[in-house]
Chains A and B, each alone.
Chain A
């Protein structure tokens, strides 16, 4: 009987384990060469917010991104978060499910790291975040894919090794203006009677005994932690860093194009002026003021210039 029980219980526990292992997520975080210090700090911030992530040295190549798949396999990661820096100013974020896709490429703008934001929020390193999504994510297929990727990459799995047991921060993903805005807040609870928390870490100073005894409803407020950034989806590929393009955002204009347009708009002024000058010259010629029938006027033999030369 005992043996039967043992086998049964072991079986069930084994099953449970298997179930848990199913949702295991590990994220490989790395960047390309040529990132600025702000990009590096962002990477650091995200790494500290994601206990299930593995940071890697900068990737040398910007073209052979499929190498990332091997790298992810090497480190046992099933998600890749890759930051590609271009021209030392533009940052692109790639999110991928490592072995066989899909991959999302996004343009990262309006970046503010924790370091420079000076927000007073703080949270445990390794606590699991609540992910808050805008309902617009459910409206379109590509956004659903992106949402799923966000959930798996930024959501810390329960079974992660370095995870801590409390929930004290929330990540907000909102779609506005065709872009995805990301914010991170600390959750601070305080008793209703009490005044607003004094920020830093002191808002937790409530009496646990009182809480247990009366079970009062706590006031929940948020304090921003940082970082802040905005993502514009550009392309979704079917497999991991390769494969056919299954979504392309036509509204995205590359920053290079914007810069070029600006330059060209400036150059346009000069072009217009020179053109106008040329035009007026031709017009004058056509009126016969300085030319005669398309040829230059002959010199008048009686003009002052000739007579008194």
Chain B
């Protein structure tokens, strides 16, 4: 082998099997040759057929023959059988011959009856079969069937690559003895062409059912459904034409495949399911409502509590202020109003200051704050910006008082001593 080791390794890495490929190539050649010879044979046999008056081996052909001559039919049948038998004999020998041919070609091939139809060449195989059917020469087609062998290594593809070392690939030989299969089929097949449709009631689709993904449950079932539906429509028309009763009348009662009990169970199950669904929906609705209702209620309660607190606070504030304030002020009503406003304002500002609520304040006053005491009296940004101590009114009052002889000035020591 001139092929270097490296190349071999590469091939192996790529998963190419040189041997298998070669073998396949040879097989293809062999098949081509066979086909050519077969075609020739077919042509010659067709000529013969025309002369003799038809030795047909497939029943479709036999039906054709019916049209030709009624008399010759029986003879044909007899001939057919005899011919078939003869053909079988020859087939065996043919097989042998071909087998030996193949053996010469490739000593790996065993002399056995195998078919490659499963491999990639299956298309060509199928088409050739079709051709043969068109020629109504399946009998002669048989002897040209391939005997090949292939050894699939694909059975362990599903395993992880590193585990492959441990697994010995099990190799299964494909046996597909088409001639024997067709013979068996011919033996048991009912003569459909002679039967009424209503006797067998089998429908085959025109096109193979396409299924992109078998794992896709929904589409798969849909494909099955549509196949059956098409078949039913077809069959229904045919049966109606043959005058067969199709639809069951309403008043026809008979035993069903599923008993009443079983159907009852199914119905109960459906009812339960529906009830469960309904109950679940209802429960969800209720839950949502409850959740929402609760939210509303809580909001309302909070609102009410807040209002109450605010009013109480205002009143308390007022009380304190009234206690501390001097009573010289004249207009009480006016004052009250203003101070209420102020209190409201103050309370608002207080909120902004971030001071705790009244209860907290009370508690702090009672038990002490408990926080840090440092810097408690030092100024900070808030306290320095605090203008609460500043009152123009008071200042004015003071000035007025001075003028009006309000608050007296602190007297000298002697005079003070004297007064006391």
Contacts and interface: CB of A to CB of B under 8 A. Distances in A.
A137 B204 contact: yes
Contact of B257 (A125, A176, A221): A125
Interface in B152-188: 152, 155-156, 158-160, 162-163, 165-167, 170, 172-178, 180-182, 184-185, 187-188
Given A134-B227, A200-B263, A265-B160, A166 B252 contact: yes
B208 interface: yes
Interface residues of A, number: 92
Given A177-B214, A247-B181, A264-B167, A222 B209 contact: no
A301 interface: no
Contacts of B184: 101-102, 145, 236, 238, 246
Contact of A208 (B175, B190, B204, B249): B249
B227 A220 contact: no
Contacts of A247: 175-177, 181
B248 interface: yes
Nearest to B142: A141
A166 B178 contact: no
A295 to B, nearest CB: 33
Interface residues of B, number: 82
B128 interface: no
A134 B172 contact: no
B265 to A, nearest CB: 8
B227 A23 contact: no
A73 interface: no
B376 interface: no
Nearest to A169: B257
Interface in B195-210: 195, 198-209
Interface in A64-107: 97, 100-102
B65 interface: no
Contacts of A158: 198-199
B208 A136 contact: yes
B219 to A, nearest CB: 11
Interface stretch (A1-9, A54-62, A182-190, A278-286): A182-190
B209 A135 contact: yes
A114 B259 CA distance: 11
Nearest to B252: A166
B317 interface: no
Contacts of B214: 176-177
Contact of B244 (A102, A167, A220): A167
Contacts of B200: 23, 131, 151, 155
Interface string B82-97: 0000000000000000
A17 interface: no
Interface in B261-298: 262-263, 265-267, 269-270
Contacts of A185: 225, 228, 232
B170 A257 contact: yes
B178 A141 contact: yes
Contact of B201 (A155, A248, A271): A155
Interface string A230-245: 0000001010000011
A61 B53 CA distance: 53
A122 interface: yes
Interface in B219-254: 220-221, 223-225, 227-233, 235-236, 239, 244-250, 252, 254
B190 A181 contact: no
A267 B209 CA distance: 41
Interface of A: 23, 45, 48-49, 97, 100-102, 114-115, 118-120, 122-142, 144-145, 147-149, 151-152, 155, 157-158, 164-168, 170-172, 174-177, 181, 183, 185, 187, 189, 200-201, 204-206, 208, 218, 220-222, 225, 236, 238, 244-253, 257, 261, 264-265, 267-268, 271-272
